[in-house]
Amino acid sequence: MSELEKVLAEVLEKIVPPPEEEERVAEEVGRALDALGKALEELSIEAVAEVEGSFAKGTWLSGDVDVDVFLLFDPSVGVEEMRGKSLSAAKRAAEKLGVGWTERYASHPYLTLKLSSCDMDVVPAYRVSDPSRIKSPVDRTPFHTQYVKRRLGERPELKNEVRLLKRFAKGVGIYGAEIRVEGFSGYLLELLAIHCGSFLGVLRAAASWRPYGVVIDIEKHYSDRRQVLERFEDPLVVVDPVDPRRNVASPVSLENLSKFVAAARAFLREPSTRFFFPVAPKPRRLEEVLRGRAVAAVKLQVPPMPEDVLWGQARRALKALSSGLERLSFKILGSSAWAEGSELVLLFELETLELPPLEKHRGPPVYSKHDERFVSQYLKGECIAGPYVDGDKWVVIRPRRLRKTSEALAKLLRTYNVGEHITKCAREGFVICTGEEVLGISASESFRRHLYEWLIRRPPWLWNDDAEAWEKQSEGSA
Amino acid sequence: MSELEKVLAEVLEKIVPPPEEEERVAEEVGRALDALGKALEELSIEAVAEVEGSFAKGTWLSGDVDVDVFLLFDPSVGVEEMRGKSLSAAKRAAEKLGVGWTERYASHPYLTLKLSSCDMDVVPAYRVSDPSRIKSPVDRTPFHTQYVKRRLGERPELKNEVRLLKRFAKGVGIYGAEIRVEGFSGYLLELLAIHCGSFLGVLRAAASWRPYGVVIDIEKHYSDRRQVLERFEDPLVVVDPVDPRRNVASPVSLENLSKFVAAARAFLREPSTRFFFPVAPKPRRLEEVLRGRAVAAVKLQVPPMPEDVLWGQARRALKALSSGLERLSFKILGSSAWAEGSELVLLFELETLELPPLEKHRGPPVYSKHDERFVSQYLKGECIAGPYVDGDKWVVIRPRRLRKTSEALAKLLRTYNVGEHITKCAREGFVICTGEEVLGISASESFRRHLYEWLIRRPPWLWNDDAEAWEKQSEGSA
């Protein structure tokens, strides 16, 4: 048995659900479906309950199952009517089962029932005749389930290949199409496994992918690659087998595609279970890791909103503040966001927290009609050298107005548009910390873990690599 | 009398040579020409002595006359023969006149005779039938003299307009086509006055010049502007009336053209004798002006070489070292060179003398075959964060290797090509000073003056403007 085979066998042992787990979940899902069916009948709701997602396809990971049940309505039913009926039916079913539930929101509001072995989302959607007639993205899901079930039915051994791929993507930290992650959805990974024929087939293909040039069109909807690349300007393009207008990989960011490529190459060179189950980094004190780094943090109080909205806003704010800081001459080494409850923390690492005292400030060209105003302003005002002619422009060297990162961030938050929601939150107040103070900006343990992983900034499969040497080096630099 | 007329009258009084000065110089030049004629005869040299330059054209400034005498040879004479004969004749003439001389070099070696009222350069050149047949640039000069004499002969009142323009260019610090200056030659200013009809005509035209779009073609050698701009890619183009292949303004740098434009606009707004005769800046202690500025200086010992060669090399070194420093992440606010005797000092003003301790270092793309080497190098080596994937590349945050300007300059001087001569000098040794130490890098008074003017970095006509307020401000920042 090769090292590679040993690694894959060890991982499969952990991720393939044993028969008793499968039976237990199946039984519970069966009971819940019965309850749902009765609820629909009692409430005279014309809808069909259908299991979708990884449980339906048989690609879920042991100990990690979420069951999606769709209530499929006729397209003639109004949206509000469908939403109301779906929530009523789900609540009635929860009552019958005697389980708790929470209400959530994606395309529509939906209920999550807390079954004993798993969570079950009860989601409303329209049953349409063809994916080109969908009314909202969820309506496409039944077609995805159907397609994958058919393909995996032809080659059942692919199910475990999908499981390996999902666990690999989780281990590398790129699993999930939500905006917080910008990674690979389960459906995308299923398609990759179907296309490449195996887990290793996908990794071997990925090892030579170059972003913005990768096209996978399983059902050959397009006649050639170029046609696809003209239509979709994404780092990775996987044409949806059930809907040629859609790139299943459109949520995948350049960085996450690159992380997948990097991990695939590293795994093929040296297979290890670390890629699937990262070993936690050898703990170093957060204070020590932060020392010598020029980090600034902004904390905002955010109202409740759907996660995708929050993370869309958080990313937009990171981008706007970074470009604002750069316009003020700060150099950004990295940025990241963390959120929990009503707390949102935006993190920035800079080259320095305080810029040099003087700056070169460019004025108008010498032949501009604004020349006189510029020259006389600086002859009278604050100016260390000049006004002088540099190239064809008037220029001065003057004291820099905003030298400290904290002052610059505060100014940007007060005056900049950093996205609709966050701008509104910022107008109501914010906290800015820099240097070692950043540690105190949130008491949450999850914040400390996020800060730590962001500071060491290694892919999880490298977390424990050469930790000894690394620790020694960090002591030296402390 | 308007303010403008008063200013011009006051300047003309100082720069138009009084009749007695004109007579005295003319008499002495006459005597020198006689001596030269006799020398040529005695040595059986077939050449004609002819007066060129501003004295011949009657455009010299009072108290500031250099007389150029050309010894014109037949093109059939060999260069070495011409050079030898010219030097012999000039030396023989100096003997006859009982005056001292020094030997210099431009296109050819030449002698400067120290007459009592002026210096007289005795320069060899070929008398060619047409400017298109010249053998070296000096051969064009007699054609220039002839052209300007003819045009000024038609309108003698232009002579004083030329004088105003020359004094203005001197006052603004842009007079001279040599590489040290990169400014306006006397011939160029004469052509501008001829073309625009007066000193004020030139200034009014210049006030709306936009660099890289100005074309003056007095003799209409070209059919339109576009044709000229296609041929000459210079900030200012003045087609030589005697040679359409040549742009008389080609030595003028973008910056000096812009200084001229800026000064013209300012003078027209508020005429003052300061533009012609700048008032020395209110003295402030050099130490005080230097305080708070991030200045670095390199001193090199240079062997004797023609001035244009030295300044060409100095400019090249400034450019190479500046771009080297920028590649190492330093921000350059300005640079300048100073030379005297065998000392050459290169000056740099930076945003800071010491860069932040950490830097972001970009490695290969994740799909590159060099990925493994990069990652394993930084897993083992000096690295603060990462290796991590940023965009599609591997990246680390590592301690910056060269943080101090002095270390960076030393490394560049040891390893960089900063121009043939200077590189050679640098290999034999150099001195680097930063901060207040820069004051001690040369004991020369001329160096201190240069440093001072470079630090305050104002056009001479603004030197004394608002000096009070400026001084107050500098005390505040000290």
Closest CA to A228 of A214, A210, A242: A214
- The Cα of B457 is separated from the nearest Cα of chain A by a number of Å equal to 5
In angstroms, what is the C-alpha Rg of chain A?
Answer: 27
Mean residue pLDDT across chain B = 93
Q: Which of residues 224-243 of A touch B (CB under 8 A)?
A: 235
> According to the model, what pLDDT value does residue B465 have?
56
Say whether residue B369 is in contact with chain A using an 8 A CB cutoff. no
pLDDT interval class at A465 (50, 70, 90)? low
Mean pLDDT to the nearest integer, A448-453: 93
Tell me which of B90-99, B265-274, B283-292 is least confident. Answer: B283-292
DSSP state, residue B245: E
**Residue-level pLDDT at A476:** 35
pLDDT at A286 over 60: yes
- Rounded to 10 degrees, what is the CA torsion of B188, B193, B195, B198? 170
A209, A371, A469 ranked by CB distance to B262: nearest:
A371
Mean pLDDT of B339-368: 96
Closest CA to A330 of A289, A294, A290: A294
Dihedral of alpha carbons A20, A22, A26, A28, sign: positive
Nearest-angstrom CA–CA distance, A85 and A96: 16
The predicted pLDDT at position A463 comes to 81
Q: What is the mean pLDDT of residues A102-122?
A: 92
Q: Give the model confidence (pLDDT) of B420-448 as tens digits.
A: 889 989 988 999 999 999 999 999 999 99
Given a contact cutoff of 8 angstroms between Cβ atoms, the answer to whether B164 and B173 are in contact is: no
Contacts of A261 in chain B (CB under 8 A): 366-367
Does the beta carbon of B462 lie under 8 angstroms from any beta carbon of chain A? yes
- Model pLDDT, residue B78: 95
pLDDT in tens, A66-77: 899 999 999 999
CB B322 within 8 A of CB B335: yes
Please give the structure tokens belonging to residue A82: 């469908």
Q: Which of B258, B392, B399 sits opposite A258 (nearest CB)?
A: B392
Asked if the C-beta of B473 comes within 8 angstroms of chain A's C-beta atoms, the answer is yes
- Does residue A214 surpass a pLDDT of 60? yes
Taking only the tens place, the pLDDT of each residue in A370-405 is 999 999 999 887 899 999 999 999 999 999 999 999
B367:A265 CB<8 A: yes
Q: What is the DSSP string of A137-197?
A: GGGGHHHHHHHHHHHHHH-TTHHHHHHHHHHHHHHHT-B--STTT--B-HHHHHHHHHHHS
Give the C-alpha separation, A215 to A238, whole Å. Answer: 6
Contact (Cβ atoms closer than 8 angstroms) between residue B272 and residue B434: no
Q: Containing H/E element for B421? A: helix B420-427
pLDDT for the residue B474: 38
- pLDDT tier at B34 (50, 70, 90 boundaries)? very high
The answer on pLDDT for B165 being more than 80 is yes
Q: Which pLDDT score is estimated for A472?
A: 35
> How far is the C-alpha of A295 from the C-alpha of B384, rounded, in Å?
14
The shortest CB-CB distance from A458 to any of B261, B372, B387 is to: B387
Q: What percent of chain B lies above the pLDDT cut of 70?
A: 96
Is the Cβ pair B392, A269 closer than 8 Å?
no
Would you call B469 an interface residue with chain A, using a CB distance cutoff of 8 Å? yes
Q: Is the pLDDT of residue B469 over 80?
A: no
Which of A156-170, A271-285, B59-73, B453-467 shows the lowest mean pLDDT across its residues? B453-467
Q: Give the global pTM.
A: 0.86
Condensed to tens digits (0 to 9), the pLDDT of residues A396-407 reads 999 999 999 999
The answer to whether residue A8 scores a pLDDT higher than 70 is yes
Does residue A195 carry a pLDDT above 90? yes
pLDDT of residue B472: 36
Q: What is the C-alpha separation between A252 and A231, in angstroms, rounded?
A: 16
Q: At what angle do helices B371-380 and A467-477 cross, to 10 degrees?
A: 60
Q: Do residues A388 and A395 lie in contact, with contact meaning Cβ atoms separated by under 8 Å?
A: yes
In chain B, which residue's Cα lies nearest the Cα of A391?
A: B255
For the stretch A146-177, pLDDT in tens is 999 999 999 999 999 999 999 999 999 999 99
Provide the pLDDT for residue A471: 37
| CB contact (8 A) between residue A383 and residue B470 | yes
Beta-sheet strand order (sheet of A109-114): A48-52, A66-73, A119-126, A109-114, A101-105
- Confidence at residue A475, expressed as pLDDT on a 0 to 100 scale: 37
Split at pLDDT 50, 70, 90, the class of A284 is: confident
pLDDT at residue A473 tops 70? no
Q: At what angle do helices B141-154 and B186-196 cross, to 10 degrees?
A: 30
User: What mean pLDDT is predicted for residues B103-114?
Assistant: 91
Which residues in chain A have their CB less than 8 angstroms from residue B372's CB? 265-266, 269
Amino acid letter, A163: R
Q: Is A168:A263 a contact under the CB 8 Å cutoff?
A: yes
Q: Supply the pLDDT for residue A177.
A: 95
* Percent over 90 (pLDDT), chain A: 87
Q: Are A469 and A476 in contact (CB under 8 A)?
A: no
Which pairs from B228-236 meet CB under 8 Å and 24+ separation?
A: B235/A392, B235/B211, B236/B209, B236/B211
pLDDT at residue A438 tops 60: yes
pLDDT in tens, A10-67: 999 999 999 999 999 999 999 999 999 999 999 999 999 999 999 999 999 999 888 9
Q: Is A26 near chain B, with CB under 8 Å?
A: no
